[in-house]
Chains A and B, each alone.
Chain A
Amino acid sequence: MFRPAMVMVVCALAVGLCVAQVLKDQPLPLPDGADRGAAVQFLDPQQVTLPARHTAQIDLHFRVADGLHINSHAPLEKSLIPARLAVVEEPGLNVTAVDFPPGTEYALQLAPREKLSVYTGEFILHVHLTARPGQHLLNGALRYQACDSNACMPPHTIPVSVTVIAQ
């Protein structure tokens, strides 16, 4: 009636569905047991090709987890921790500037008049650089501080790494 191989495949699919069903909850704000530091994810690019010895731009895409926000690069209060990108210097690769997008105005539910400047959802940093011919590694780290509508998490840093091929 049933072949064992078919049964195994059905079971594997069922288990896979279950795992996917449970894991899809992970982007919920402040989920139980999740990596509470991973409020921001570096999406792409993993690799770029650009003209050598010319100023070029790389767009780094990040995503803030649903229900959370991070301070923009220019918070409206000096005590708040801004989003910052630190880049490791590498021979042959010269980062000249990093452009941050303007923040969006946001207010906590219990203090609607206190405005914050934040990033939510996806945001893009524009990295301006020049590279000598060859393959390089753009290594850096994004430091941010995330909150949801009522609570904040400690500042956190995530690595950013892009292979740059200059031709």
Chain B
Amino acid sequence: MKRNQWVIVLVLAAFALMVWSGYANYKRRKQYAQRQVQGVPETANNQSVQQDVAADEGLPDLRGKRAPDFSLRSVEGKKVSLSDYKGKAVLINFWATWCAPCKIEMPWLVALRKQYASQGFEILGVSEDDAGTPRTKLAKFGQEEGLNYPLLVGDDAVSRKYGGVEFLPTSYFVGRDGKIVAETAGLVSKDEVEASIKKALATGGQ
């Protein structure tokens, strides 16, 4: 190839790279703008935006997959496994005592558990506090917040099974068949939590 042709190829390649980077930047900014959507009435579209956002925030898309099983100690010291709740709809809620948005959704979770427990719904609150946090501190926190569902002491292995849980709160909604039907990263509205619970309850048993 002649030198002039090489020059043209190089310039075209540089131009293509610039176009690509501009597009990549535009795409990211668009995703960010979507994430800022607030106060929009909940619609099927809005929910799909929320789910996309969850994926964008580092949540692996586990929807449709079997929820990874785990065994953890409750704050009372009892061994609790996800498989203990076979046939039930389960909300696995990762939280921490230092997480302000987690505290905001807790009263909603308490109310929703009361409302749907008779239909076979349970919540497992998995603490993401430091490993050294005493169980008694977690238990006291649960009492103060009036939590009516099991609080479990989380560990890295379980977090890794659920994609690392980089943001709190993070919730996975498991259907009666043991498959994840919805997932959220960050605080979402009570209506959205309830919709996901209903979805989990609607799935058939194993």
Closest CB of chain A to B206's CB: distance in Å?
Answer: 32
Closest CB of chain A to B65's CB: distance in Å?
Answer: 21
Which 10 pairs across A and B sit closest by C-beta, in order of nearness? A151-B186, A14-B14, A150-B186, A18-B21, A151-B167, A111-B104, A150-B187, A21-B21, A152-B99, A81-B98
Closest CB of chain B to A135's CB: distance in Å?
Answer: 37
Is B70's beta carbon under 8 Å from chain A? Answer: no
* Residues in B neighbouring A29, C-beta threshold 8 A: 32, 35
Flag A26-61 by CB within 8 Å of B: 1 or 0 each. Answer: 001111100010000000000000000000000000
Closest CB of chain A to B105's CB: distance in Å?
Answer: 8
Is B136's beta carbon under 8 Å from chain A? Answer: no
Is B111's beta carbon under 8 Å from chain A? Answer: no
Is B149's beta carbon under 8 Å from chain A? Answer: no
A32 to B32, CA, bound (A): 11
A24 to B57, CA, bound (A): 18
* Stretch from B2-10, B73-81, B83-91, B172-180 contacting the other chain: B2-10
* Residues in A neighbouring B100, C-beta threshold 8 A: 77, 80, 108, 114, 116, 147, 152
Is A97's beta carbon under 8 Å from chain B? Answer: no
Report whether B101 and A28 are in contact in the complex, using a CB–CB cutoff of 8 Å.
no
Closest CB of chain A to B169's CB: distance in Å?
Answer: 7
CB contact between A18 and one of B17, B57, B187 (< 8 Å): that residue:
B17
- Known A2-B7, A14-B17; contact A152-B98, beta-carbon cutoff 8 A: yes
Closest CB of chain A to B52's CB: distance in Å?
Answer: 13
Flag A132-167 by CB within 8 Å of B: 1 or 0 each. Answer: 000000000000010110111111000000000000
Report whether A151 and B15 are in contact in the complex, using a CB–CB cutoff of 8 Å.
no
- Known A151-B185, A151-B187; contact A21-B104, beta-carbon cutoff 8 A: no
* Stretch from B23-31, B119-127, B197-205 contacting the other chain: B23-31
Is B183's beta carbon under 8 Å from chain A? Answer: no
A116 to B18, CA, bound (A): 42
Closest CB of chain B to A28's CB: distance in Å?
Answer: 5
- Known A77-B100, A114-B100; contact A1-B11, beta-carbon cutoff 8 A: no
Closest CB of chain B to A112's CB: distance in Å?
Answer: 11
Is A86's beta carbon under 8 Å from chain B? Answer: no
Is A88's beta carbon under 8 Å from chain B? Answer: no
CB contact between B14 and one of A11, A77, A147 (< 8 Å): that residue:
A11
Closest CB of chain B to A139's CB: distance in Å?
Answer: 24
Is A25's beta carbon under 8 Å from chain B? Answer: yes
